């Protein structure tokens, strides 16, 4: 391992790939950048990603180890121990779609402080800090764990640029009207009378929701401009591009955008799967029509809907396309409701979650160091 932060190294074990998507990676990168401000260097450990999207997203900013394809649990433990011995990390961040106690045992046995990102309620074994930013997370869910609990939407870990862009875009639904005393700016304002729609289904979109949603909107009779964000892990880019070219209104397709906050800014409404993108949009005051396919996603989407910051359209990737068209048309026709939903979004997400989580880990490590100084071996 070539890098060493002045504060020490931190290893991240997380899921990233076509099947799991890249939301775990994006939020962990946001956390790693905040930790770098305190002098920590991060090492990312992921499963093998044949699409190449994981290293592309990382962009060389952090050291990266990809595990071999179809590796066994023993192979992974050996790889983790090799990294622990060579990098001598002081902490581990674990953000897995499914809990794996053996991974947690390995890090705990090596004396590392463990921060578990646990919105699946399975990934918290032996954790010193548990982060669950789900809208429905409660302390009772972790009774008896003895860990520091960082629960709820104030801990959504977003890239720092969203907090910065929020000050320009706060509460705006592409109308230029003021909400909470602030007017947003659009670098590329839409044509007068048009509303800007945004569509994004994550870094890989394995359920082909982008194609299905585009097909649903082909008969939309209202003046809009549609921005489609496609991740680097998508296998359907060519088909999406061709379909976008046939839409009856201006439609742009952006693949692997390095600055998604600029594309999102000024949108009136978004169509997306619930996850990191939903919270990024919310930070900018953009409400979402969301589609889900897992129980945890559905519970978050139901809570989002109840709060008025979005609409949970379907719990099935084979959603009713007519219902999507009807919902989008209804919302675009109700500017007052869009503005109200936009205000609810900015109340929900302030964009500072990564900063809060990073500070909690830094404080935990500082406390450990002070204990070691007070009680030398």
| Digit-coded pLDDT (tens) for 137-184 | 999 999 888 899 999 999 999 999 998 887 665 444 434 343 333 323
Run of H or E including 11 = strand 8-14
Are 172 and 188 part of one and the same domain? yes
- Per the structure, the count of domains in the chain is 2
Are 134 and 174 part of one and the same domain? no
Residue 3 lies in a domain: no
Residue 6 is encoded by which pair of tokens? 């002045």
Are 189 and 296 part of one and the same domain? yes
Are 182 and 83 part of one and the same domain? no
Residue 61 lies in a domain: yes
Residue 2 lies in a domain: no
Lay out the sheet containing 91-95: strands in order across. 63-66, 40-46, 8-14, 91-95, 113-117, 129-132, 148-151
Are 254 and 198 part of one and the same domain? yes
Are 152 and 165 part of one and the same domain? no
The C-alpha angle 252, 258, 262, rounded to 5 degrees, equals 60
CA distance 290 to 288: 6
Structural domain boundaries, residue 144: 8-157+352-374
pLDDT digits (tens, 9 = 90+) for 275-327: 999 999 999 999 999 999 888 789 999 999 999 999 999 988 889 999 999 99
Residues facing 173 on adjacent strands: none
- Evaluate whether 308 touches 371 at the Cβ level (below 8 Å): no
CA distance 283 to 3: 33
Task: Give the three-class secondary structure for 115.
Answer: strand
CA distance 186 to 178: 14
Are 292 and 326 part of one and the same domain? yes
- The predicted model scores a pTM of 0.88
Give the CATH number, domain containing residue 97.
3.40.50.11190
């Amino acid at each position: 391992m070539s890098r060493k932060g002045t504060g020490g190294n931190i290893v991240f074990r997380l899921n990233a790939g076509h099947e799991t998507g890249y939301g775990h990676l994006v939020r962990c990168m946001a956390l790693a950048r905040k930790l770098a401000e305190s002098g920590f260097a991060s090492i990312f450990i992921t499963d093998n990603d044949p699409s190449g999207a994981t290293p592309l997203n990382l962009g060389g900013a952090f050291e990266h180890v990809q595990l071999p394809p179809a590796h066994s649990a023993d192979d992974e433990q050996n790889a983790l121990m090799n990294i622990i011995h060579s990098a001598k990390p002081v902490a581990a961040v674990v953000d897995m779609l499914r809990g794996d106690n053996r991974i947690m045992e390995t890090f705990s046995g090596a004396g590392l402080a463990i921060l578990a990102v646990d919105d699946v309620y399975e990934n918290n074994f032996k954790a010193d800090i548990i982060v669950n930013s789900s809208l429905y997370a409660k302390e009772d869910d972790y009774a008896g764990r003895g860990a520091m609990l960082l629960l709820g939407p104030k801990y959504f870990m977003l890239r720092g640029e969203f907090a910065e862009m929020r000050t320009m875009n706060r509460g705006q639904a592409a109308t230029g009207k003021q909400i909470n005393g602030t007017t947003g700016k659009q670098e590329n304002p839409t044509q007068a009378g048009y509303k800007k729609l945004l569509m994004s289904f994550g870094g890989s979109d394995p359920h082909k929701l982008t194609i299905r949603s585009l097909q649903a909107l082909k008969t939309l009779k209202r003046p809009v401009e549609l921005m489609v964000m496609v991740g680097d892990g998508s296998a359907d880019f060519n088909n999406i591009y061709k379909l976008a070219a046939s839409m009856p209104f201006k439609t742009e397709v952006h693949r692997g955008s390095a600055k998604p906050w600029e594309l999102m800014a000024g949108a009136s409404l978004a169509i997306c799967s619930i996850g990191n993108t939903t919270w990024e949009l919310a930070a900018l005051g953009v409400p979402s029509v969301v589609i889900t396919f897992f129980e945890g996603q559905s519970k978050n989407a139901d809570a989002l809907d109840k709060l008025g910051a979005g609409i949970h359209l379907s719990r099935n990737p084979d959603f009713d396309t007519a219902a999507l068209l009807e919902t989008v048309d209804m919302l675009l026709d109700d500017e007052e409701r869009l503005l109200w939903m936009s205000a609810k979004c900015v109340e929900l997400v302030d964009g500072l979650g990564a900063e809060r989580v990073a500070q909690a880990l830094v404080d935990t490590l500082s406390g450990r160091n002070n204990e070691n100084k007070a009680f030398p071996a």
